[in-house]
Structure 1
Amino acid sequence: MKTLYMIAGTMGAGKTTVSQRLKNELPRYVFLDGDWCWDASPFQVTDETKEMVMNNICFLLNSFLHCSAYENVVFCWVMHEQSIMDEILGRLDVKNCAVKKIVLVVDEESLRRRLAGDIGRGLRTDDVIERSVARIPMYEVLDAVRVDTSHRSVTDIVKEIMAL
């Protein structure tokens, strides 16, 4: 049986960092960061681009789930609304798959510090802090296991996820 790890969280919660470490602890894995399906300039959020990114993500995830070479599929993306997670799952063939839905949560102080560091390194733009902080409460209502990343090492977070 395959395992699909769906890892959600606001920008700066640690999705990509945790997922990159998690994949290396798993046998026969494949990893998809949802942002890769929407890395465009100009970045535009329209009905057309939202449909495109969902089609891209679901196509790739289904391809991974159907491929016998992989036992574990790690997918991370912002997924700030239950409807996003539900739509993705509804479009995936998970009948022979354990699905682990995980939300990385983080306290505001840690989030601000992480994002300020990313801005200082030129990895993010100044507006990300307020947008990300505003989304923190959205993750409290998602149907998923919450894993707090505040003041914790990536190793400890990955161990917690693997124990689920």
Structure 2
Amino acid sequence: MRRIYIITGPAGVGKSTISKRLVEQFTQSAYIEGDLINHMIVGGYLPPWESEELLTLTWENIASLATNFLRANKDVVIDYIAYPEDVEKVIQKVRSERCQAKIFYVVLWVDHDELLRRDQLRDKQYQMGQRCLDLVKEFKSKQISERYYYHTNDVTATEVVEKIRKSGEFIVNEKIER
């Protein structure tokens, strides 16, 4: 059975690093970078946190791409800010397209100081500053089950990828547990 991995967390936790390393572990795989999908909108673009309409469109496109890749016999890694309601949209799309896949939801997490340190390591144009902290608050407000969180302060990227690949604890069944 094919797999969809939804790798998420606040800006600066390592979503892209982990997602890119994870997708390389599979012989048949596809990488969906949510920011690229979101930035396909040119005229009328607004950041996703400012436009529910554009965010919904982004998730519809991500879910459609994921099911297209599943039908092409690819494992899929999605790298984007994803809350339980977004994961449920992907589940519904997979179900409606009659695709078979195990869906994994992983919320990468680091402590406050580490998050800010990592953000400062980014090129100036990609630093998120206060937005990192705003996303921490947003994730906490969603009351996501602790079982989906993976605290990465003291582990290497290789260890994170191995844990995600070999652990069943991040599998989502019918709905996200809260």
The runs of 5 or more residues in structure 1 that have no matched partner are none
Q: Distance in 2 between matches of 1:159 and 1:12?
A: 20
1:17 maps to what in 2? 17
The answer to which of 152-161 and 134-143 deviates more is 134-143
User: TM-score under structure 2 normalisation?
Assistant: 0.78
The runs of 5 or more residues in structure 2 that have no matched partner are 168-178
User: TM-score under structure 1 normalisation?
Assistant: 0.84
Residue-pair matches, total: 160
> Pick from 47, 67, 70: which aligns with 2:72?
67
1:115 maps to what in 2? 119
Aligned-partner SS, 1:25: coil
2:57 maps to what in 1? 52
Aligned-partner SS, 1:92: helix
2:162 maps to what in 1? 159
Deviation at 1:158, TM superposition (A): 0.7
Q: Distance in 2 between matches of 1:146 and 1:8?
A: 9
Deviation at 1:50, TM superposition (A): 2.2
Deviation at 1:130, TM superposition (A): 3.1
Name the Cα RMSD after superposition. 2.3
Deviation at 1:140, TM superposition (A): 5.4
1:31 maps to what in 2? 31
Deviation at 1:86, TM superposition (A): 1.2
Matched residue type, 1:132: L
Q: Distance in 1 between matches of 2:165 and 2:109?
A: 17
Q: Distance in 2 between matches of 1:140 and 1:106?
A: 17
Aligned-partner SS, 1:73: strand
